[in-house]
Chains A and B, each alone.
Chain A
C-alpha cells in the first residue's frame, strides 16, 4: 500500500528564516494531497489541499509544491515566526483505497525568536 515518508522529523529555525518540510510517497496514482498543522496540545487543522499534477499553491506565509513526477510534496514556510511552531503532517489519498488518506509521520517545527 501507499507509503509516505516525511522529513525532517524535527526542525529548528530562527525567526525570519525559511523552513522546508518534504514528503515522498510511493503510489504514482495518488491524487489528493494535504498539509495539516497541529499546534501544541491541540488538534489538527488543514493548511492546504492540492491535487494538480505539478502545482505551487501559496497560502498565508507558506508555499506548497507538488511534483508528481518525483512523487514529492513539500511545504515551505517563508519568513517563519514563533506562531508557526507546531507539528506539520502531510497526508496522501492513495489510489488503492479512495476512502482514506495516509499520513506522514510529522515534523515538529520550532521557531526561535
Chain B
C-alpha cells in the first residue's frame, strides 16, 4: 500500500488561476518535501516542513506557498499559476535529511 500519495495525478490549469496540490503520507515521518522536476534540472526543492503547522522555503520558493496542517498532510499552493510552473511535482517524506526519502507518484501540472 502506497505510503505517499498525491492528488491530483495530473492537472491542467489556466494562467492566473489558483492550483492546490495535495500530499498525504502514512509513514509517520516528520519531514515532508515538495520538489519540481523539469527536464535538465533534476529535482529542485520548493518548500519543506519538519513539523506540523510550520513550513520552510526551499531553493526555488517564489510563486509557491505551502501548508502543513498535520503530520500526514502537506499542500503546495500556486496562487497565480504561470506558464513557467508547468512541470512534474513530487512530494516526499522522510525521517530527516540523513534518511531515505519516500516519494509520491508525482503530479503532472500543465499551465495553459
0/1 interface trace, chain B 12-44, chain A, CB 8 Å (1 if under): 000000000000000000010101000011111
Q: Is A101 within 8 A of B97, CB to CB?
A: yes
Q: Is A46 within 8 A of B101, CB to CB?
A: yes
> In the assembly, what is the distance between CA of A6 and CA of B43, in Å?
12
Given the interface pairs A43-B106, A105-B40, A105-B42, the reply to whether A99 lies near B100 with Cβ below 8 Å is no
> In the assembly, what is the distance between CA of A31 and CA of B47, in Å?
22
Q: Is A6 within 8 A of B42, CB to CB?
A: yes
Given the interface pairs A44-B90, A45-B103, A99-B56, the reply to whether A93 lies near B97 with Cβ below 8 Å is yes
Chain B, interface size category, equals: 20 to 34
0/1 interface trace, chain A 89-105, chain B, CB 8 Å (1 if under): 10101000111111111
Q: Is A32 within 8 A of B43, CB to CB?
A: no
Interface residues of A (CB under 8 A from B): 1, 6, 9, 31-32, 34, 36, 42-46, 49, 51, 89, 91, 93, 97-106
- What 13 new A-B contacts, CB under 8 Å, besides A42-B105, A102-B59? A6-B42, A9-B40, A43-B103, A43-B104, A45-B103, A49-B100, A89-B43, A97-B97, A99-B56, A100-B33, A100-B58, A101-B101, A103-B35
